[in-house]
Amino acid sequence: MYKFIFRPVLFLFPPEATHHLVVFILKLSFWIPGKSAVLRLFYCVKDERLKRKLFGLTFENPVGLAAGFDKDAKFFDEMANLGFGFIEVGTVTPKPQPGNNKPRLFRLTEDEALINRMGFNNDGVEAMVERLKRRKNFKVIIGGNIGKNKTTPNENALADYEYCFEKLYSYVDYFCVNVSSPNTPGLRELQEKEPLKKLLSRLKQLNIQKGNPKPILLKIAPDLTNKQLDDIIDIVRETKIDGVVATNTTVSRSGLQSSDIRLRSIGSGGLSGKPLAKRSTEVIKYLHEKSNGSFPIIASGGIHSAEDAIEKLHAGASLVQLYTGISYEGPSLISQINKAILK
């Protein structure tokens, strides 16, 4: 129904407007009594065999919502009724920031992909905390994806991550450290061995000082070389963080159906969706095999069907996250994946 009725209408609007429209309708519809129960009945797949225990957390099922969809933790409670086992909010930065100029989100319909250069538009971590304080659903795991402000130079980036970590600590179940967005100038340089080790060691140190440490994950780019992936494995081992989210969006434009003219008119940004699937799976497989499966991996990148999700799990991922697939396939993708995993 989504693909043949809703999607053609939604795709008439520019993608960022569609996102806000969908979220507005979703939020509004929750004023209808019983709406969440109906949605849960329709979308949630409940089965003990779907439960996953990872980093000391119990996930009701292995399908999550990737970062960037609910950047400000404005509708995670509503999204929870669609059957997700976990939802990652953010990327959030210490101070609010508007992000890049619009338009900054583009659809490549022929490729079933998106290009975005949102640039961490968000209301800031304090606003996020206020919303998370009103969290209603504690069954769905909430991850906090943290980043740095655009105006913060890389030399001071650590302070931004520390600030978000401290503020969010009591309100999220795990952290995801984002150093892999292509849309904040210089951010990806933090993926280099020394700055990354310093950053993760410091967060780990802060975490240990807490009574009840939270799992810390690192989100990496799909554009890293094998040598850089080897460094990531070393860093995960040395800093003893809990796992990796692989992958963020790519800066590559290879193998796309969309015309060069269209791609040139869009310009820079991170590509997500179907064309990312292959590379993202390669990264997962490489990390899993080279590390002898010594840390959990959350798969993100181009999951548009149950088969795509299962491929990621076979490559070595323990959980999967969706973003672009939801916009092309609709929310039934979540239950389709869970049902396929049960089979």
Ligand X SMILES: Cc1cc2nc3c(=O)[nH]c(=O)nc-3n(C[C@H](O)[C@H](O)[C@H](O)COP(=O)(O)O)c2cc1C
User: Which spans of this chain sit near ligand X (rule: CB under 6 A)?
Assistant: 66-68, 71, 91, 105, 114, 116, 118, 120, 145, 178, 181, 219, 248-249, 272-273, 276, 300-303, 322-325
Nearer to ligand X, 40 or 95 (CB): 95
- Measured from the CB of residue 236, what is the shortest distance to ligand X in angstroms? 17
- Measured from the CB of residue 44, what is the shortest distance to ligand X in angstroms? 20
- Contact status, residue 84 vs residue 309, Cβ threshold 8 Å: no
- Measured from the CB of residue 292, what is the shortest distance to ligand X in angstroms? 25
Catalytic residues: 181
Nearer to ligand X, 235 or 298 (CB): 298
Using only C-alpha atoms, the chain has a radius of gyration, in whole angstroms, of 19
Residue whose Cβ sits closest to ligand X = 68
Nearer to ligand X, 36 or 305 (CB): 305
Nearer to ligand X, 66 or 168 (CB): 66
H-type helices in the chain, by residue range? Answer: 7-10, 15-29, 35-43, 76-80, 125-132, 157-168, 193-209, 226-239, 260-266, 277-290, 306-315, 324-329, 332-342
- Measured from the CB of residue 280, what is the shortest distance to ligand X in angstroms? 7
Which of 84, 86, 94, 241 lies closest to 172, judged by CA?
Answer: 86
Nearer to ligand X, 41 or 340 (CB): 340
Tokens for 146, please give them: 């943290």
For residues 188 and 181, give the distance between their C-alpha atoms in angstroms, rounded to a whole number.
7
For residues 44 and 33, give the distance between their C-alpha atoms in angstroms, rounded to a whole number.
18
Nearer to ligand X, 15 or 316 (CB): 15
For residues 246 and 288, give the distance between their C-alpha atoms in angstroms, rounded to a whole number.
11
Bridge partners of residue 53, in order along the sequence: 58
- Measured from the CB of residue 116, what is the shortest distance to ligand X in angstroms? 4
Residue 246 phi, psi (nearest 5)? -130, 115
Beta pairing class for 216-220 and 243-246:
parallel
Which of 103, 44, 116 lies closest to 323, judged by CA?
Answer: 116
User: How many CA atoms within 13 Å lie on the side-chain side of 316?
Assistant: 22
- Measured from the CB of residue 293, what is the shortest distance to ligand X in angstroms? 22
For residues 89 and 321, give the distance between their C-alpha atoms in angstroms, rounded to a whole number.
12
Tokens for 343, please give them: 């089979």
